[in-house]
Structure 1
Amino acid sequence: MSDATLQLATPSLAPPRATPPRLGFLGTGWIGRHRMQAIAADGCATVAAIADASPDAAAQAADAVPGACVVGSLDALLDLELDGLVIATPSALHAPQAIAALERGCAVFCQKPLARTAAESRRVVDAARAADRLLGVDLSYRHTAGARAVRDLVREGALGAVYAVDLVFHNAYGPDKAWFRDPALAGGGCVIDLGIHLVDLALWTLGWPAVRRVDGRLYAQGRALADPARQVEDHAVATLELATGATVRLACSWHLSAGQDAVIEAAFYGTEGGAALRNVDGSFYDFVAQRFRGTARATLAEPPDAWGGRAAVAWARALASGARFDPDVERIVEVAAALDGIYGRAEVGP
């Protein structure tokens, strides 16, 4: 879909609901439970049902939201004729589970990545369009106050022509579940786990310029990744060349000795100044945003900022207001295509 089409298109709307939408939650590990509690606390939707491969996890989640029933499968959730489904399962399951829900007329909010590849992501988006149902993806860094302040400066032209973007996401620990290290289940390693957030954030901030060329280098335990079908990367560097002429540089990793829990940064440099979102003292949750003019800097946003559940709440509120398919979700396919380029899975650009 062209930029012009996306700018003109608007989400289709049904009349606002007389009662809050009834939601099901598929997967209630830490992330799934956190999003569930955020929506429940907001009151924009009702937590109606829960399913998880772990009965203990499902029971713990149900204890936090009295009135929700526990069922044993996705099919059992969909048989309840829910209004929406929140998916927080292993990545390989996202696309088939989302498509199954959408084809049953159920809106979907899915953990990132929506799918392992751009082709899989396209199938999910096409299913949402065919069903005319709201589809959201938990790319939550867009919802930090700092990221929005930086985006506003860029979109207003306050930084001039942005020509360089530096993205960094180093996690000192790495994931704690075995499936993250299985290429078939995860779709990749630290790039699809961490880098996806910052690639999305950069393209969103810049107004979705086309990605013309991508070059990626993947490593495992300090050596070039030998067999991506058998091993995932724990360190990666990549360069994205944009249609605007800007260059985006990405570095991300698991288990990097950086002297703190995490290093997270998205910095934008233009002809009239710069701006950056950076984590504070190694935190995964606290961010400061600053504007740069030469050697001077000014703070745009700083903690506290309880942003973790905002993407899920925004989706649930939109669902409650009657929103159906939103064409802006097409952008998720563009992000997935950029990641495919980093992984060498597909050509990017014309």
Structure 2
Amino acid sequence: MSGIAAKQQTQRPRLGFLGVGWIGRHRMEAIAQSGAAEVAVVVDPSTQALEAAEKSAPGCERAGSFEELLTKPLDGIVIATPSAVHAEQAVAALERGLAVFCQKPLGRDAAEVRRVVDAAKANDRLLGVDLSYRCTHGMRQVKERVRAGELGDVFSLNLVFHNAYGPDKAWFYDPKLSGGGCVMDLGIHLVDLALWVLDFPKVTRVSSHLYSGGKPLTSRETQVEDYAVAQLELATGASVQLACSWKVSAGCDAVIEASFYGTKGGASLRNVNGSFYDFTADLFHGTSRQRLAEPPDAWGGRAAVDWATRLAAGQRFDPECERLVVVADALDRIYRP
């Protein structure tokens, strides 16, 4: 049984952080600074990472392993580990009665994601995934304009995420550990944004081309893709074009764009000067342009803080989690069109 059932509502949830490398520590610091929850326990194989985490959250306790973490009096855990173990760790935590916030991808395929969502539902526990680009001010503005009908019927979407560097951890390039390459790492955000903005219409057809080193991917068992293009056709009649890559000659650090075109207008989120963090958003009508959002916007930890805030308010399983399976299924279809 989780500690949350025995706590008074005035007490903050106690959280464990499984993995406190760069991104795990960033999410930990965002939650700590928000005051929504207490950083109680940290786990990481790197002593350097643990020391940095302890500087950010004085008084937190170290645990030597995931198994030890599960024995602590906690209300939830934040997972920032290699993709291959996300589903297993999330299910184990949920079955112990802990809420879970996990780095993307929640699983390497739709079957793994389904297992986690089912465990969250069966144990009535709050589940969150760090699909963080939803939380940019610009993307929220775009969604609001689409929902308000300012674009009319959206019929074309164009989303791009090119990373001129690529990941620096070896496991990203091992298909058994990562589940895939740039589609799993970057394309997941593009698919999620496209479906989220349009309130998750059914994906009726998928076509794709995946490349490794400039040549068509020949084996998903031994290779991961570093360039991919895909087209998703939606039940609304809309067409979604996606492109993502690692280590492409982009002329800058990153090219990130999510554009939506409708019968009355368009809207677009774009990164600024190759930045991974700074975005503008604009609304288009003919040749006119209206700025909706621009930097600065400290959005990186918002998804984690939102989850921690909801946990503190006593929220449990959210049926919206079912849509995590929809995104995972679309990725499966990109890999196996």
Q: How many residues align?
A: 333
- 1:323 alignment partner in structure 2: 315
Letter in 2 for 1:217: H
Q: Is the 8 A contact 1:15 1:321 kept in 2?
A: no
Alignment of 1:152 onto 2:144: yes
- Structure 2 counterpart of 1:236, which letter? A
Q: Are 2:176 and 1:179 equivalent residues in the alignment?
A: no
Q: Which residue of 1 aligns with 2:59?
A: 67
Q: 1:217 aligns with which of 199, 209, 232?
A: 209
- Alignment counterpart, residue 285 of structure 1, candidates 277, 295, 304: 277
Contact 1:14 1:323 in 2 (8 A): no
- Does the CA contact (< 8 Å) of 1:16 and 1:322 recur in 2? no
Map 1:178-197 → 2, pairs under 5 A: 178-197=170-189
Query: How far off its partner does 1:81 sit?
Result: 2.4
Partner in structure 2 of residue 131 of structure 1? 123
Q: Distance in 1 between matches of 2:186 and 2:6?
A: 35
Matches within 5 A, 1:1-350: 17-344=9-336
**Structure 1 letter corresponding to 2:173:** R
Query: Given the two structures, how large is their TM-score scaled by the length of structure 1?
Result: 0.93
Give the aligned residue type for 1:142: R
**Secondary structure at the counterpart of residue 240 of structure 1:** strand
Matched to 1:233, the amino acid is: E
C-alpha deviation, 1:15, in angstroms: 9.4
Kindly provide the amino acid, as one letter, of the partner of residue 107 in structure 1: A
Distance 1:168 1:275 in 2: 14
Q: Structure 1 64/276 Cα, relative in aligned 2: closer, same or farther at 3 Å?
A: same
Q: Which SS does the other structure have where 2:113 is aligned? A: helix
User: Aligned partner of 1:280: which letter?
Assistant: V
1:92 is paired with a residue whose SS is helix
**TM-score w.r.t. structure 2 length?**
0.97
Distance in 1 (alpha carbons) for counterparts of 2:147 and 2:290: 18
**Is this contact kept in 2: 1:16–1:320, CA < 8 A?**
no
Equivalent position SS for 1:328: helix
User: For structure 1, which runs of at least 5 residues remain unmatched after alignment?
Assistant: 1-12
> How far apart, in 1, do the equivalents of 2:51 and 2:209 lie?
42
Identity of aligned residues (%): 66
